[in-house]
Amino acid sequence: LPQDFQVAQPILETIEAAGFEAYFVGGAVRDALLKRPIHDVDIATSAYPAEVKALFKRTVDTGIKHGTVTILDHGAGYEVTTFRTESTYQDYRRPDKVTFVRSLDEDLKRRDFTINALAMKADGTIIDLFDGLADMQQQRLRAVGKPFERFHEDALRMMRAVRFEAQLDFSLEANTKAAITSNHQLLTKIAIERIHSEFLKMMLSPHWATGLQTFIETKLATAVPLFLPYQAQLKQALAYDGVFANETQVWVFLAWNLGLTPDKLKKGLKTWKTANQVINQSELTLQLCLTLQKQPADIDWVLYQSGAQAVRDGLAVLRQVNRIDSAQQQHLQQIYDTLPIHCAQDLAVNGRDLMAAGLTPGPKIGQSLQQLQRQVVAGKVANQPKALLAILQN
Ligand code: ATP
Ligand code: MG
């Protein structure tokens, strides 16, 4: 039994001692079998939420309506969820009703993919009702039950499919893939925040290109904001490998391939309900990439104005799309790192100093500070109060 499960073993045993069934389920079982890092250990049980709560001292009603109780144990939290079935998904996403059941089989049947529908007993025995272990062996992602129905009842599963492909380096089983293609339009019914979250997990995975390829081939890429008119350009992005360090790199990389202007990117990211901070940073970073492309004479100033994060991300993207090689990347990073100052606060004088030196308060102060930064960054004056005030006098 992997370490993460060992510490949770007593929880299963307590539930079992009370006459109920309890199993480890979901992503943790999958990841343990694949020897991948485990995040949350989820437990499924035949006990109803009230019955679970009666067995443990410290519990939290995290999702009691859906049957989930969190058990607090030695600083860790374990989500224990009552076996349940889900019925009639009217909005292609949330089940209208969850029904608690006493059978593990029913619970496993509602899960999305066979590799996510494995259960593990306290002694480590695996329960594999849908040949999930064989699929795992073949690195295959296959829907539990009838794929068409499963994606029709919950369209978010289509995004989960491409995300798991990318995370695990699996490929979609043919019928599962065909069912996504048939249902791709239903993705438009899903909240963009949910799509965004899965899309990002996909792009931040080592095998993002595998997921992105399926995302394009199944036409999911035509059912999300921004990408529809750019299918051919999106395909070009598949030619590159390498991983992305953060969300900004992902968007700037995609924008580069799509040929978006910074403004178009900004508008597109709003439709994806991306965080404002990421939108601003992506716009700035794309602008930097486009400017560097033109080999500007005042490169120090361009880098200075972009800031540390945009420089790092912009260079990473330019490297990824082979516009610069790694020596150039290091060289440009070095130029930035060794600038005499990196922001207005680094300047040896501030607005108050300028007023004390006789400048009249007003917009002139800001302009002078900007001038000084430019001169310092260009290496034309030392970053010392005396030297700075002296050039203002002229
Ligand atoms: P992650 O590593 O991202 O946590 P996970 O497989 O654990 O992956 P969760 O969203 O944590 O994903 O869900 C836990 C389990 O619940 C899944 O393994 C799967 O069995 C089931 N599940 C989650 N979302 C769905 C869904 N939309 N449809 C069917 N089953 C789902
Ligand atoms: Mg999980």
Average pLDDT for residues 3-22, to the nearest whole number? 94
Average pLDDT for residues 179-196, to the nearest whole number? 98
Ligand in nearest proximity to the CA of 194: 1
> Residues annotated as binding site for Mg(2+)?
40, 42
The encoded tokens of residue 368 equal 């002078």
Decide: 118 in ligand 1 pocket, CB within 6 A.
no
Per-residue pLDDT of 161-184, as tens digits, reads 999 999 999 999 999 999 999 999
Query: pLDDT-derived band of residue 241, with 50, 70 and 90 as boundaries?
Result: confident
Per-residue pLDDT of 91-137, as tens digits, reads 777 777 889 999 999 999 999 999 999 999 999 999 999 999 999 99
CA distances from 370 to 292, 341, 362 (A): 21, 12, 14
C-beta pairs of 85-88 under 8 Å, 24+ apart in sequence: 85/109, 85/110, 86/110
Distance between CA atoms of 243 and 201, rounded to whole angstroms?
A: 12
Q: What is the pLDDT of residue 62?
A: 93
Same domain as 359, residue 264:
no
Domain count, the chain: 4
Q: If you search the block for the tokens 């999702």, which residue do you land on?
A: 63
Decide: 116 in ligand 1 pocket, CB within 6 A.
yes
Nearest partner of 140 among 149, 130, 148, judged by Cα:
130
Q: What is the pLDDT of residue 251?
A: 98
Q: What is the pLDDT of residue 92?
A: 79
Same domain as 52, residue 108:
yes
Same domain as 294, residue 389:
no
Domain boundary among 165, 191, 224: 224
Distance between CA atoms of 312 and 63, rounded to whole angstroms?
A: 41
Same domain as 112, residue 148:
no
The encoded tokens of residue 393 equal 């006098």
Q: What is the pLDDT of residue 91?
A: 79
Same domain as 276, residue 150:
no
Distance between CA atoms of 69 and 103, rounded to whole angstroms?
A: 18
Range of the domain at 101: 1-131
* 386 located within any domain: yes
* 234 located within any domain: no
Cα Rg, the chain, nearest whole Å? 27
Q: For residues 74 and 240, which has the higher predicted lDDT (pLDDT)?
A: 240
Same domain as 323, residue 198:
no
Q: Give 132 Cα–ligand 1 centroid separation in angstroms.
A: 14
CATH number (domain holding residue 180): 1.10.110.30
Domain boundary among 108, 131, 154: 131
Average pLDDT for residues 297-318, to the nearest whole number? 97
Same domain as 259, residue 329:
yes
CATH number (domain holding residue 262): 1.20.58
Decide: 281 in ligand 1 pocket, CB within 6 A.
no
Ligand 1 atom showing the smallest separation from residue 28 Cα: 7
CB 182 within 8 A of CB 148: yes
Same domain as 299, residue 355:
no
* 231 located within any domain: no
* 230 located within any domain: no
Per-residue pLDDT of 261-288, as tens digits, reads 999 999 999 999 999 999 999 999 999 9
* 194 located within any domain: yes
In this model, does residue 212 exceed pLDDT 80?
yes
* 229 located within any domain: no
* 359 located within any domain: yes
Same domain as 123, residue 23:
yes
Query: pLDDT-derived band of residue 146, with 50, 70 and 90 as boundaries?
Result: very high
Beta-bridge partners for 209: none
Per-residue pLDDT of 309-358, as tens digits, reads 999 999 999 999 999 999 999 999 999 999 999 999 999 999 999 999 99
Same domain as 149, residue 114:
no
Q: What is the pLDDT of residue 153?
A: 94
* 363 located within any domain: yes
Decide: 77 in ligand 1 pocket, CB within 6 A.
no
Domain boundary among 224, 258, 284: 224
Per-residue pLDDT of 38-96, as tens digits, reads 988 999 999 999 999 999 999 999 998 899 999 998 788 999 999 999 877 777 777 77
Q: What is the pLDDT of residue 169?
A: 98
Decide if the complex's ipTM is over 0.85: yes
CATH number (domain holding residue 121): 3.30.460.10
Decide: 340 in ligand 1 pocket, CB within 6 A.
no
Same domain as 9, residue 54:
yes
Pocket test for ligand 1, best of 111, 151, 154, 170 (most atoms within 8 A of CB): 111
Same domain as 199, residue 92:
no
